[in-house]
Structure formats: structure tokens, C-alpha cells
């Protein structure tokens, strides 16, 4: 009945793996309730016994693992985990996965219920939230002892999962912002393709020309998109965050909104309601695949998934402006639950997924370019998927130009993202001036990160 739970038709058999334990806990809870309600607190609080690794390395271990993604990712991940079980027959997995929407609601609920997975996928949105609340295991000691080998990682990725001096998650892959465009549409109309290094002004002028010639709006308006705003800020010498503060002012936001108001007035972008559709995080609703705009602002590793949703050829370049504002970003992380009874095994699995040649080859670039640079080369050479090849090519090109990685987003980041959407849409629908929307955004951010 949970509204955020996606259809379960594709669910693997292991999906309902956790029924036995909660039922027992529920019974215990109910007993406690009938005797005396306050005992309930005790029953809930003592759910997670702290425990280190098993003394016997061959004792059977069942490790629970949770990730978001589509069918393709599920298949690849399951294959890689099966390979681990083959090499370590005592370790089996309880696998749970679902679509991105609702994933973090469920992860939070599992954690609250004292039932979090041993190993889970997480991203910038929530890494700081979980780390700040001591939910994630600090992986630093494993990194030092070499049990978690990051020696082949680029420096930026190694740093990226660090929150308050603790390694809260290990980068599962590397990606960067990618401007994806409809190649078929442009070729058919004899229009030039966008290029890396175009200025924002040039991009908008190009989009205006596309609209005029094809009747398809040239570019999605990214004013609600935090990653586009972020790149633009870095080109202005600012940043999204500075320490525990915002790295920008209301004036910056106004200028950003004005830039796109100008673009809308010139018909370089779609109308507000279509922009709103494209502001969804859902890949299938990106305007470049629904045919409602010639470009969309996404992450480079999303190319294969986007390609699956359209017949047209797609291309990908960096966001406009100086590409050194972009950075090698951890697309997502693997984190270990701090109270896990199988910490050592969980860490070993992360190490395996990142550094074992066979496993990395199985996983491909689905979670971004492999973090291990030696294996990245192997995967790049072996990949046959054309969309994966394109995203590898653009990232390989950008690697030379990448700037320094910004700090990991702070607590409250997900609220900042949703407030940016709200403010930008207020301006797009004409319900507020750009300056009003900017002020409103700053106010909302301040209370979100307080």
C-alpha cells in the first residue's frame, strides 16, 4: 500500500527476504505492549546489537544488500555478486533493489525499524545525512590496512566519500555532468551539434536557432537543476557550499534565473509546464527522450539508460562554459551500516566490486566509470555498448580538463535541491520575479541547512 513502492513485477526472488526476522521482532513487540507499553521502546532500541566480523572466516554469512536502479543494473549486480559467492561459498546475499523514487524513503524506514541492510548504495543527496547521524561505518581503518584498496583510485574519488574526516562511503564509480542532445534531429535539419567549451550565451543562441528551425525547443531550461547551477557557480568563482554555509548569494541566483528568463523569452527553451515535466528525476521523462526538447541536462553515465528510451541517436558533451568547472564526481557510493554484524565481509564485498577485474568487467560503466583506473582502461577497451562508449569518450576527454572536486554536499542538500526547483518554477510560471524567487530560495536554504 506504500505509495512510493514501485511495481514488484520485476522483483527478484530475494526481495521479501526479511519477513522472518521482523515477524519475530513484531511478536516480541506485541508481547511487550500487552504487558506494558513502555517496554516497546526497549524492544525497538535493542534491535541492533553491535558486532564485528565473525571469528571463523568460513562461517556462513548472509549479507543483505540494497540498491536503486533499473533491470539492467539489477542483472549486472546480481552477476557480480554471484561471482563473489562462487569465490567465497560461505557468503550469500539477500538482494533488494528498486527504482530511485522512494529508495531513500525505504532506506530510512528500514534503518528506523532496526533492519537496515548491511551494505547499501547511497549518493550525495543523503551521504552527509547518514554520516552525520553515525549510521554509516567509518571505512578509514580498512582503507589504511589495505582491506579496502583505493590505491588505484584517482585522488578526487578517494576524497569524495569523506564526511567529517571519516570515510562514510566508497565511490562506486565516476561520472560528471553531461549535456545530452538529439543527434538525429540536428543532422536532419542541418544544424551544428553543440560542443564542449561553448559559452552559455552561445549555447542559448544555438538553442534559439534549433527552435526556429525544428519547432522543437532547443534546450531544456536547467534553472531548476542544481547540477547545472553548480557548474555555472563554479565558473563564477563561487560554489554550492562553503563549509557549512551556502557558497552563493541571492544576487548569484538572480543572475542565474535571469540568464534563463532571457532564454525563455527568446524561445530557446520549452514552456514552463514542459520544463516542469523535464524537472523530474525520472530518466524516462527527460525531454531529450520524450522529444520535447533537443537537449537535456543529465549525468554522463545515464547515456545508456536514455538511449533505451528513444529511437533517435544521442550525443553528449560537457555543460556550457569552461569545462574545468566540472569535476570527477562519485556517481554513488557503497556504504556499510555501522551496526552490521558482518562488517568485514561487507567491506570485502565493496573491495571486490571495485577492484576485482572480472567483477568490474561484469558491472561495466553502469554506475559510472570504474573507480579503479587500471580496470577502467580494461573496461573502456572491452565495452561494446555504443551509448556506454560515448559516455566513456566524453569523460575521457574531460578528465584532462576537470577541476578540483567540491566538498561533499552538506546535511539538508536534498531540501536545497527541491527548493531550487520550487523557486525556479515560480519564476518560470511567472508567479514571481527572478529576484523574488531568488530571495525566497535563499531563505528556504538557510532554514534547510541550519
Kindly tell me which of 38 and 89 has the beta carbon lying closer to another protein: 38
CB of 133 to another protein, least distance (A): 4
Q: Which residues is 434 bridged to in the sheet? A: none
Kindly tell me which of 153 and 333 has the beta carbon lying closer to another protein: 333
CB of 28 to another protein, least distance (A): 11
Write out the three cell numbers for 343.
Answer: 562488517
Kindly tell me which of 58 and 281 has the beta carbon lying closer to another protein: 281
Q: Check: CB of residue 298 under 8 Å from CB of residue 277.
A: no
| CA gap 407, 241 in Å, rounded | 7
CB of 67 to another protein, least distance (A): 19
Consecutive H or E run containing 296: strand 295-299
Query: How far lies 337's CA from each of 21, 147, 350, in Å?
Result: 17, 17, 13
CB of 217 to another protein, least distance (A): 13
Sole residue written with cell 513484531: 26
Kindly tell me which of 373 and 418 has the beta carbon lying closer to another protein: 418
Kindly tell me which of 141 and 280 has the beta carbon lying closer to another protein: 280
Q: Check: CB of residue 144 under 8 Å from CB of residue 172.
A: no
What does 59-121 look like in DSSP terms, one character per residue? S-EEEEEEEE--HHHHHHHHHHHHHHHHHSTTEEEEEEEE-STTHHHHHHHHHHTT---SEEE
Characterise 237 by phi-psi region: left (phi > 0), alpha (psi -120 to 50), beta (else).
Answer: left
Kindly tell me which of 46 and 393 has the beta carbon lying closer to another protein: 46
Residues at the contact surface with another protein, assessed by CB under 8 A: 1-4, 26, 29-30, 33-34, 37, 40-41, 44-45, 48, 101-102, 104-105, 108-109, 111-112, 129-130, 133, 135, 271, 273-274, 276-277, 280-282, 414-415, 418, 421-422, 425-426, 429, 431, 447
User: Cα-atom radius of gyration of the chain, to the nearest Å?
Assistant: 23
CB of 207 to another protein, least distance (A): 20
CB of 329 to another protein, least distance (A): 22
Amino acid at each position: 500500500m506504500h505509495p512510493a513502492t514501485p511495481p514488484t513485477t520485476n522483483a527478484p526472488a530475494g526481495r521479501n527476504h526479511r519477513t522472518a526476522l521482523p515477524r519475530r521482532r513484531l511478536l516480541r513487540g506485541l508481547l511487550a505492549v500487552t504487558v506494558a507499553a513502555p517496554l516497546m521502546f526497549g524492544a525497538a532500541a535493542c534491535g541492533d546489537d553491535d558486532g564485528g566480523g565473525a571469528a571463523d572466516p568460513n562461517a556462513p554469512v548472509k549479507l543483505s544488500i540494497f540498491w536503486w536502479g533499473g533491470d539492467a543494473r539489477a542483472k549486472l549486480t546480481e552477476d557480480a555478486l554471484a561471482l563473489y559467492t562462487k569465490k567465497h561459498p560461505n557468503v550469500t546475499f539477500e538482494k533488494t533493489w528498486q527504482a530511485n523514487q522512494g529508495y531513500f524513503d525505504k532506506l530510512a524506514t528500514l534503518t528506523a525499524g532496526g533492519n537496515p541492510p548491511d551494505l547499501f548504495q547511497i549518493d550525495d543527496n543523503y551521504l552527509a545525512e547518514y554520516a552525520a547521524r553515525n549510521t554509516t561505518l567509518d571505512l578509514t581503518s580498512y582503507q589504511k590496512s589495505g582491506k579496502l584498496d583505493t590505491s588505484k583510485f584517482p585522488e578526487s574519488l578517494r576524497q569524495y566519500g569523506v564526511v567529517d574526516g571519516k570515510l562514510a562511503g566508497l565511490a562506486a564509480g565516476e561520472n560528471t555532468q553531461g549535456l545530452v542532445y538529439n543527434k538525429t534531429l540536428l543532422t536532419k535539419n542541418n544544424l551544428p551539434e553543440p560542443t564542449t567549451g561553448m559559452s552559455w550565451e552561445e549555447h542559448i543562441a544555438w538553442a534559439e536557432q534549433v527552435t526556429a528551425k525544428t519547432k522543437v525547443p532547443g534546450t531544456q531550461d536547467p534553472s531548476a537543476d542544481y547540477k547545472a547551477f553548480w557548474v555555472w557557480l563554479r565558473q563564477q568563482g563561487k560554489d554550492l557550499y562553503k563549509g557549512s554555509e551556502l557558497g552563493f548569494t541571492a544576487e548569484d541566483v538572480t543572475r542565474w534565473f535571469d540568464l534563463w528568463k532571457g532564454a525563455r523569452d527568446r524561445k530557446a527553451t520549452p514552456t514552463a509546464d514542459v520544463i516542469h515535466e523535464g524537472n523530474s528525476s525520472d530518466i524516462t521523462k527527460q525531454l531529450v527522450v520524450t522529444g520535447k526538447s533537443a537537449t537535456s541536462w543529465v549525468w554522463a553515465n545515464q547515456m545508456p539508460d536514455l538511449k533505451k528510451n528513444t529511437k533517435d541517436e544521442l550525443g553528449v558533451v560537457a555543460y556550457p562554459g569552461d569545462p574545468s568547472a566540472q569535476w570527477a564526481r562519485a556517481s554513488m557510493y557503497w556504504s556499510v551500516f555501522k551496526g552490521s554484524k558482518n562488517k568485514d565481509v561487507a567491506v570485502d564485498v565493496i573491495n571486490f566490486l571495485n577492484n576485482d577485474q572480472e567483477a568490474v568487467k561484469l558491472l561495466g560503466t553502469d554506475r559510472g566509470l570504474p573507480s579503479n583506473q587500471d580496470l577502467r582502461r580494461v573496461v573502456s577497451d572491452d565495452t561494446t555498448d555504443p551509448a556506454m562508449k560515448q559516455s566513456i569518450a566524453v569523460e575521457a576527454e574531460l578528465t584532462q580538463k576537470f577541476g578540483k572536486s567540491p566538498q561533499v554536499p552538506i546535511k539538508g542538500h536534498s531540501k536545497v535541491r527541491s527548493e531550487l526547483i520550487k523557486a525556479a518554477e515560480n519564476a518560470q510560471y511567472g508567479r514571481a520575479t527572478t529576484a523574488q524567487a531568488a530571495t525566497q530560495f535563499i531563505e528556504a536554504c538557510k532554514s534547510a541547512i541550519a
